[in-house]
Structure 1
């Protein structure tokens, strides 16, 4: 089989029927196991297949792409870089999207190998075409180009080359193609800037990153929405947050939140601003962020108490993120002009939406409630447990019955969401007392028939697992119930009790 592939490849340039030859080659290539192909691939000459890409026949081009994908995948990236970089460069100019994707994918493989990348860095024309690919009309090609260029900039040499002379000029020229393409360049620059302080320094010096930050507070509302998302990605790194703070960007974003009431279009970008601060609090310090930018948390509360479902959902998600850490819980406890009463009022509102909102919002509320209510065993101080209990009771007049009702519904998302809430509080003594005092709750826990699918059974099993590992369960539930929970855990989530049958004489 390998010899026939060699013969077909050698005969391709002067072949009278290239389509038939390519079909034969494709069949042979796909028939060979990949380990065998890897052994033979370095000896094969693929120039003939690359040359047939220039033909106008779509089937011919498609066959060439399939064959090259198979062969190139079997070759070491260093071999590809040294022997086919000119062919890959020409392929980047090809009118067919599949050919350009093939070339960019191979460049992506090459730049992941430090030895092979040297070959790419020495080919300025190929890199220029990679930059130009960002401005193409095919988003898939542009995305692959961004990914590969980002990896190239991961090396000091690649970083210096990309933001030096010719390539930087090409980047700026591509930005002028359209607003959409400009955002793609911003995306590339933010990806690179997030890697290290050194890469951020290059991006800032290029003037592209400062231009992005200027557009963040510009007059174009839709541009502002896109820029906020990109800046949020940069804020995920320590050096990125420091840079944004030094440039006054965080203060400017906070001012946008403050001024949102006077802007009729603020609904378009406000969710992004709130997510920005939510992510900032998650990776930094909830207390520092909420104390330094009090308008952020007040805006979240206002959104949660409003009437617009989209805003409510963003507020609920943000509170779930804030309340997932102990520090965040303490911030919520102290927040608001009226102290903790503001949060309790908002949390009660979340409980209302969990009962009565659209299904998607109900699920998000349940996720947020479970994040906020969870306390690790090491944090079970009297004050924190009392705080958690007061929060839980604020959700409804009868919170246990409320979540029991949701857990009995046939919708898996709500069923599992309610079980997740029970699991979040299951290691807290006050919650265990509420469980055991709730009529039929123990029977519900050990009844597998009420869990209609795998996800529900797994969620129930997590609840049981938390209960049997909690220190107070045996005392609060009593020995009999505790042993039933241990038996359930031992049997596993999918246990089915065997039913024995007795044969009766004369029965069919």
Structure 2
């Protein structure tokens, strides 16, 4: 839309007059026929030909009630054309004029049998509640908000998601929060919640989204008992419910005020105890990955050292899962180790575990070489995160640490990763290049590269890896080498100049000679 607005010169008053007259004529024609499909199609085409910037003036003062009334039809094509027309028109209207002129029609749209009509109405209500002047009109008509809350229990997930989004926007203002949590709408939410397990979790999703906005909005949600109910589900009897609850609680922990609240409620200790108790629960595999992800996220947002020291059960479980035969457990462990190892503090925490981490690193190496493809990719990603050091992090100790880890992967780690990079799976090729990119900025990595026969030829050869992803991954590796202050000295000026040329030419460059020879081959 923006490009359209920027590319079009502003419409002259004369042009706007013609546009407005065309729309008016088409609306009259639509009102006068019994089967208006053709006329609706003409109106849709006319509206799409008007730049968004000019649309507001072209439709101002016109009434589109006839289009809303035509939504009440069993003819699918007619309804879809009306929705397309209204989507185009309503965006051009200000939220205030929208609510003043079409409040009743939008409210009707919320109970329409067609889902696209519901989504249209919900989207426009979302625009209205974001505008302080228009919001007042909605707050004075709680029936609309009641209908929006009821949409959360609709079968189609897209409708429910749009309703959650619109109500979440409502919570960005104090009057909106007051209306949701300090009026009978709170009871409406609780009634809707009782529909089913699925709908209950949609309400939790809304509450978590609202809570994340600010400490004040979290206060409203906490006082309304929704959050304490969610936290209660963590230790409920139903293991599937528990798994979903932990996902919601992890989302709540994304904000600092959310984490503080959870800590005050003793939730971190509770989850740590659940990890401990999981060993004796035959169904723990259903919710254990979620518990581990919770602490993994917590470690990255707060402090890996603090989290691992305060909740040793978490760290022990991650190592245990990395050596587990269950692919689901291994996958979560790999992702979590990658997350932890991506920070300097996390690297130091892993190093402190000594032999334990060495065993895990060996397992990661084996998985990268010969596991199932998905686990191979996740292993490669985790290894590259663990080995990455930003230029400002490259102290002598940390460089020695990443180098020692790299050599633990295999007797000949460069050959091992080169072998993976030549396999006919693009995701493995990119994963292997990711590891080379991780070590490319570190002097020891560059020394290995220059001492590995034909490695630099492989880096500079554009014919390896033909997918866009592979070309991008190779370009990232070249960029990492060029940006390092030690490259020219270690790799030599000839390689350095060729790398700079590669970088300048971009990831998708094809030389004229290569292009000609390819044509000849065809």
- Please tell me the TM-score bracket, short chain as reference: over 0.9
CA contact under 8 A between 1:132 and 1:174: conserved in structure 2?
yes
Write the deviation string for residues 192-220 of structure 1: whole angstroms up to 9, x where unpaired.
01111111110011111110100111111
- Please, which of 460, 465, 476 is the counterpart of residue 490 of structure 2? 476
Measured after TM superposition, the shift of residue 10 of structure 1 is 4.8
State the secondary structure of the residue aligned to 1:450: coil
Give the whole-Å Cα distance in 1 for the aligned partners of 2:112 and 2:212.
32
Aligned ranges 1:167-178 → 2 under 5 Å: 167-178=185-196
Cα distance change of structure 1 residues 10 and 464 upon mapping to structure 2, 3 Å threshold:
closer
**Larger CA deviation: 275-284 vs 430-439:** 430-439
Measured after TM superposition, the shift of residue 16 of structure 1 is 4.5
- Please, which of 341, 346, 357 is the counterpart of residue 328 of structure 1? 346
Partner of 1:390: 404
Give the whole-Å Cα distance in 1 for the aligned partners of 2:236 and 2:44.
54
Give the whole-Å Cα distance in 2 for the aligned partners of 1:306 and 1:104.
46
Aligned ranges 1:21-170 → 2 under 5 Å: 21-170=39-188
**Larger CA deviation: 51-60 vs 395-404:** 51-60
CA contact under 8 A between 1:304 and 1:349: conserved in structure 2?
yes
CA contact under 8 A between 2:246 and 2:291: conserved in structure 1?
yes
Partner of 1:219: 237
Q: What stretches of structure 2 of length at least 5 have no aligned partner?
A: 1-18, 516-522
Give the whole-Å Cα distance in 2 for the aligned partners of 1:23 and 1:455.
41
Measured after TM superposition, the shift of residue 267 of structure 1 is 0.6
Give the TM-score normalised by the residue count of structure 2.
0.91
State the secondary structure of the residue aligned to 2:153: coil
Partner of 2:256: 238
Partner of 2:8: none
Aligned ranges 1:61-460 → 2 under 5 Å: 61-335=79-353, 340-460=354-474
Cα distance change of structure 1 residues 450 and 22 upon mapping to structure 2, 3 Å threshold:
closer
CA RMSD in angstroms comes to: 2.0
Write the deviation string for residues 268-311 of structure 1: whole angstroms up to 9, x where unpaired.
11111111110111111101100000110110000001111111
CA contact under 8 A between 2:389 and 2:438: conserved in structure 1?
yes
Partner of 2:24: 6
Partner of 2:3: none
CA contact under 8 A between 1:9 and 1:44: conserved in structure 2?
no
CA contact under 8 A between 2:193 and 2:199: conserved in structure 1?
yes
CA contact under 8 A between 1:217 and 1:224: conserved in structure 2?
yes
Moved over 4 A (4+): 10-21
Aligned length: 497
Measured after TM superposition, the shift of residue 180 of structure 1 is 0.9
Give the whole-Å Cα distance in 2 for the aligned partners of 1:117 and 1:96.
26
Write the deviation string for residues 232-253 of structure 1: whole angstroms up to 9, x where unpaired.
0000111100111111111111
Give the whole-Å Cα distance in 1 for the aligned partners of 2:391 and 2:473.
20
